[in-house]
């Protein structure tokens, strides 16, 4: 079983939250890199970069220069430079960043805001919802509309055939 810490943690150059370690509380750091391979139940605020390993979980809001996510974040993420979401990475929260790169198997559930400058009014924004149920319902509605159109076309064709038969 891992070591448990409570409260705020301030550190030096690099910080590693190892596998099997749980931190309960917020992390505030000037570290060049914070790496999470364990679990953090609280926010992370760093001037440096944040790396979440494949087994890493952060349950709280994140503010960092750049974020590389291969594990899971449940909370809003603000990165002044870039967010990269690797294969199987999951981000359940809103994103604010300049650049976003993600693997095709990555998951984002939340709102994405991208801008090049702090005062940029021409923001790129997208709501992402990976709820398969709503996607299936939308597809079902689309399929229904297509079927209705085909039925009407068939009825029109039959009416035209009858008119031709009667004219002969």
Whole-angstrom CA distances from 118 to 44, 135, 141 are 21, 34, 41
Please tell me whether residues 86 and 8 are part of one structural domain.
yes
Backbone φ and ψ for 86, nearest 5 degrees, come out as -80, 175
Number of domains the chain is built from = 2
**Residue 155 — very low, low, confident or very high, per pLDDT cuts 50/70/90?**
low
Please tell me whether residues 58 and 96 are part of one structural domain.
yes
* Separation between Cα atoms, residue 38 and residue 45, nearest integer Å: 17
Pairing of strands 44-46, 62-69: parallel
Backbone φ and ψ for 162, nearest 5 degrees, come out as -60, -45
* Separation between Cα atoms, residue 36 and residue 48, nearest integer Å: 14
Please tell me whether residues 30 and 68 are part of one structural domain.
yes
| DSSP at 42 | S
Please list, in sequence order, all residues whose beta carbon lies within 8 angstroms of the beta carbon of residue 30, skipping any fewer than 6 positions away: 10, 11, 12, 46, 47, 48
Gyration radius of the chain's alpha carbons: 25
Question: What is the residue range of 154's domain?
Answer: 131-168
Please tell me whether residues 91 and 10 are part of one structural domain.
yes
Residue-wise pLDDT for 26-63, tens only, equals 999 987 899 999 999 999 999 999 999 999 999 999 99
Residue-wise pLDDT for 98-147, tens only, equals 999 999 999 999 999 998 765 554 445 555 554 444 444 444 445 554 45
């Amino acid at each position: 079983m891992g070591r448990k810490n409570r409260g705020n943690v301030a550190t030096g150059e690099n910080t590693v939250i190892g596998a099997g370690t749980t931190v309960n509380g917020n992390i505030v750091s000037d570290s060049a890199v914070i790496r999470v391979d364990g679990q953090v139940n609280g926010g992370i605020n760093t001037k440096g970069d944040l790396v979440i390993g494949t087994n890493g979980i952060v349950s709280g809001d994140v503010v960092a220069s750049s974020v590389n996510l291969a594990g899971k974040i449940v909370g809003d993420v603000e990165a002044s430079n870039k967010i990269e979401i690797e294969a199987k990475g999951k981000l359940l929260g809103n994103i604010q960043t300049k650049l976003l790169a993600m693997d095709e198997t990555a998951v984002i559930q939340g709102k994405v805001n991208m801008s090049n400058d702090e005062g940029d009014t021409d923001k790129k924004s997208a709501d992402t919802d990976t709820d398969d149920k709503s996607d299936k319902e939308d597809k079902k509605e689309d399929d229904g509309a297509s079927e209705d159109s085909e039925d009407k076309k068939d009825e029109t064709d039959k009416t035209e055939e009858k008119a031709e038969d009667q004219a002969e």
